[in-house]
Amino acid sequence: MFAIKNLQNGKAPGPDGFCSEFYKEFHGLILEPLRDMFNHSFLNDQLPQTLRDANVSLILKKGKCPESCSSYRPISLLNVDRKLLSKILATRLEDTLPLIVKGDQTGFIKGRKSCNNVRRLLNVIQAYQRSAMDGLVLSLDAEKAFDRVEWSYLFFALTKFGLGDNFIKWVNILYDDPQAAVLTNGLRSNSFSIHRGTRQGCPLSPLLFALAMEPLAEAIRVTPAIQGLLIGDVHHKISCMLMMSGYSSLAPRLQLHLLLILLNCSVNSQATRLT
């Protein structure tokens, strides 16, 4: 019931055409069969086909060329019953995530704000400017970040973080043979299978992405070759950006690229900045 009450109004519906307002209006009739359907899916390790379907709407990114495929952000329009299941799982995960993901990662984490990392970065830059010390800030942008998450790695990370058999089983069910069709100028393509990525438009996806990125963040934290910027007794290594005390930190001896291969993570060179 909590998940239904917190559905946002005015959102585009999924392939079945039922909107959030419908579920709110008729929650008294829907709640019990919806619960039974979720329980049946859990026992049988698979969602009904309608919960695995999605329409993909392509949103042009601001300032990007409309003739390039990479200029569009794919938003998955999921059926509301599928969103409800994801919201229930997201609500369970969001209270645990701050215990798993270290405090310097603020994106999508309950109780944290990205502006804190921005303030931290500005403080570090100002401190180095006042002291006339050398340092650099490397801002990295992950290319197609949500779409490149490998499921085998994601499930491995969920297991290593000890999120429990039932929760991991639910995530496996959500990512069992999902289908999508692309909406273009009012036309719907044939459906196709999806084999990787976390769906943009799913309430659970941002949390899973933050969880998937935590091993990379931890590798940066513990890698001796990345010294970070020293202010007082504190080494500032990673927040929303990676900060280093010299170009020697970029030495080829770093093995972080091996983790990037495992993550299937690619750097978007057009959005990467070194200052």
Walk along the chain (275 residues) and give the pLDDT tens digit of each residue: 778 888 888 888 899 999 999 999 999 999 999 999 999 999 999 999 999 999 999 999 888 899 988 888 889 999 999 999 999 999 999 999 999 998 888 888 888 888 888 888 888 888 878 887 777 777 767 777 778 888 999 999 999 999 999 999 999 999 999 999 999 888 999 999 999 888 888 899 999 998 988 888 887 787 777 676 667 666 665 544 444 444 344 433 345 555 555 555 555 555 555 55
Torsion of CA 46, 47, 50, 52, to 10 degrees: -80
Which pLDDT score, from 0 to 100, does residue 158 have? 95
Residue 261: per-residue pLDDT: 53
pTM across the whole model: 0.80
Dihedral pair phi/psi, residue 273, rounded to 5°: -130, 140
The per-residue DSSP string of 191-220 comes to PEE--S---TT-TTHHHHHHHHHHHHHHHH
Distances in Å between the Cα of 94 and the Cα atoms of 38, 76, 105, 135, 199 are: 20, 21, 14, 35, 17
- Paired strand residues for 230: 235
Shortest CA distance to 196 belongs to which of 143, 258, 234, 151?
151
pLDDT at 257: 54
Give the per-residue pLDDT at 267. Answer: 53
Q: Which residues pair with 192 in a beta bridge?
A: 180
- Residue-level pLDDT at 105: 83
The predicted pLDDT at position 248 comes to: 41
pLDDT of the residue at 149 = 87
Return the residue matching tokens 């020697």: 248
Integer angstrom CA distances of residue 29 from 22, 25, 33, 38: 11, 9, 8, 15
Give the chain's end-to-end CA distance (angstroms, integer): 49
137 and 243 in contact (C-beta within 8 Å)?
yes
Question: Within 10 Å of residue 23's Cβ, how many Cβ atoms?
Answer: 20
